Amino acid sequence: MDVFSSLVEEQKSKSEVVQLFGVILYTDKHPNIKKVLRDDDYWLALHELTGENFAVFSVRPEKGRYELPKFPPGVIGMMVKIWKEPIDNQKLLNLFEIESTEKLPLLLLFTEINGEHLSIQFKINDTSETEAYNTTKEHLEFACSVISGIKKENYGNPEGIFAALSLQNDQRQAWKIVKNGINIYAYIKGLLP
């Protein structure tokens, strides 16, 4: 985690780099995003998309696991598996306010304001290598479109950058809901005689 923090600090010191960063979180349980990140062609395509002024990192936290609870002798309890997070992940989870590594892979877009990290999470579809690349690319294209609307002199304003990203993301999510509602309406209308 210290290496990650030093890389972010190094990027923050560059005036031409926007104060918004991306981090792709995955575990060994996600082979398709792992292949995308290790493949030079995919990585170069993503780098070409983000350019020199938007830094994106990848971090592989330790893999958590499900365990059955342990009860003291003579106690009966429900045997429901519970997610156990490795201690090594706590610093990362606390930093970005992530509940657990259970729902990875994710793309986190974050900025730091007065020592506090503000972030937006985007789920990455890991069903296939192509889907992993396409969803990552789609999320990064969205971030780049937000960044393209920001003047270079405002790259050092993390509050404004995060506000712009958050506002655009809210509009994007609302549009998806409307679009899905229209699709459902069309489907139901097609069923009626």
pLDDT at 133 over 90: yes
Q: Where do runs of H (alpha helix) occur along the chain? A: 2-12, 31-38, 40-50, 90-96, 129-148, 158-191
Residue 46 phi, psi dihedral angles, 5° rounding = -70, -40
Q: Distance (Å, rounded) from C-alpha 50 to C-alpha 47? A: 5
pLDDT on residue 118: 87
Residue 135 phi, psi dihedral angles, 5° rounding = -70, -40
pLDDT on residue 2: 67
Q: pLDDT for 96-113, tens place per residue? A: 878 878 888 999 999 888
Q: Which domains does the chain have, with CATH numbers?
A: 2-191 (3.40.30)
pLDDT at 10 over 60: yes
Average pLDDT score, the chain: 84
Neighbours of 18 (CB within 10 A): 25
pLDDT class of 3 with cuts at 50, 70, 90:
low
Q: pLDDT for 43-77, tens place per residue? A: 999 999 988 888 898 888 877 777 777 778 877 77
Mean pLDDT of 152-167: 87
pLDDT at 1 over 60: no
Percent of the chain past pLDDT 70, that is, above it, reads: 97
pLDDT on residue 35: 93
pLDDT on residue 152: 83
pTM here is 0.75
Exposed, middle or buried: residue 11 (CB in 10 Å: 0-12, 13-18, 19+)?
middle
Can you count the helices (H) and strands (E) in the chain? 6, 6
* 116-123 β-sheet, strand order: 55-59, 21-25, 106-113, 116-123
Mean pLDDT of 78-96: 75
Q: Are strands 21-25 and 106-113 parallel, antiparallel or unpaired?
A: antiparallel
The DSSP call for residue 108 is E
Q: Distance (Å, rounded) from C-alpha 177 to C-alpha 117? A: 28
Exposed, middle or buried: residue 16 (CB in 10 Å: 0-12, 13-18, 19+)?
exposed
Calculate ∠ Cα 95-96-98, nearest 5°: 115
